[in-house]
Amino acid sequence: DFSIRGQRALVTGAARGIGHDLALALALAGADVLAGVRRESDGDELAAATAGGRDAGTITPFVLDVTDVSATRAAIDAEVAARGAVQILVNNAGLGFNHDAVDVGEDDWDAMMDVNLKGLFFVTQAVARHMLAAEYGRVVNLSSQAGLVGIRRHAVYSASKGGVNLLTKVLALEWANRGVTVNAVAPTYIYTPGTAERLDQPEIAADILARIPAERFGTTTDVAAAMLYFASPSAGLVTGTILPVDGGWTA
């Protein structure tokens, strides 16, 4: 059973980039999607997006700054109380800037860890409490190839995504016999607002492309395919997995 029709999903950081397209993919597959946005106005475009098709689910902007742990918990508890359980959580919100390790400031470290690792953990905890009560849930984390192998100038980012990978495994173990799976997708470079500044520089783009055996960048569709698999009812025995979607970079 690969159908998620009628299920409810939450995607964090869905205003743009990969998260935006994952929210659309879930809605096209029939799920009703809470599209996490940091500010109300960020949701305007999403609210206007009609996923299309008679069987498509809805997309509703959902204000959620993942670094605000208590507000996150309150918002999720209130949403579940008002409209019922969320079956699918996609932890997409993330920061991706990079520096030479010697130039990393304490603020850089804190900002990235706050969103990529701490934020992801506490959103998951807040949603999983309800999933565990319902004895069903699918958690999909956005990791990165940079969480599997070292990449120069990615010290903090790689550490955060390596942390995501181990969190994925620990949570998978804790919840494996309670109907809740936890998996991660680890993509290679994808052109988004978050990576445009670097990928718009032809030398940098060419350097990166030369390292991808598939000889192309990733797309949000590549990520959506992996995410939809993990999110599906049939993937119930698949947990604690980090799936590279990287054209062979880490092979």
Catalytic residue annotation? 157
Q: Cβ of residue 83: shortest distance to ligand NAD, in angstroms?
A: 20
Q: What is the CA radius of gyration of the chain?
A: 17
Q: Cβ of residue 189: shortest distance to ligand NAD, in angstroms?
A: 4
Comparing CB distances to ligand NAD, the nearer of 7 and 188 is 188
Comparing CB distances to ligand NAD, the nearer of 78 and 135 is 78
Q: Name, in order, each residue with C-beta under 8 angstroms of 220's C-beta and a sequence gap of 6 or more.
A: 17, 18, 20, 21, 22, 25, 190, 192
Q: Cβ of residue 2: shortest distance to ligand NAD, in angstroms?
A: 23
Comparing CB distances to ligand NAD, the nearer of 22 and 235 is 22
Q: Cβ of residue 5: shortest distance to ligand NAD, in angstroms?
A: 25
Q: Cβ of residue 51: shortest distance to ligand NAD, in angstroms?
A: 18
Which parts of this chain interact with ligand NAD (CB under 6 A)? 12-13, 15-19, 36, 38, 64-67, 92-96, 115, 119, 142, 144, 187, 189-190, 192-195
**Which two tokens mark 184?**
């991660």
Comparing CB distances to ligand NAD, the nearer of 32 and 222 is 222
CA distances from 88 to 5, 104, 107, 232 (A): 12, 35, 32, 9
Comparing CB distances to ligand NAD, the nearer of 38 and 99 is 38
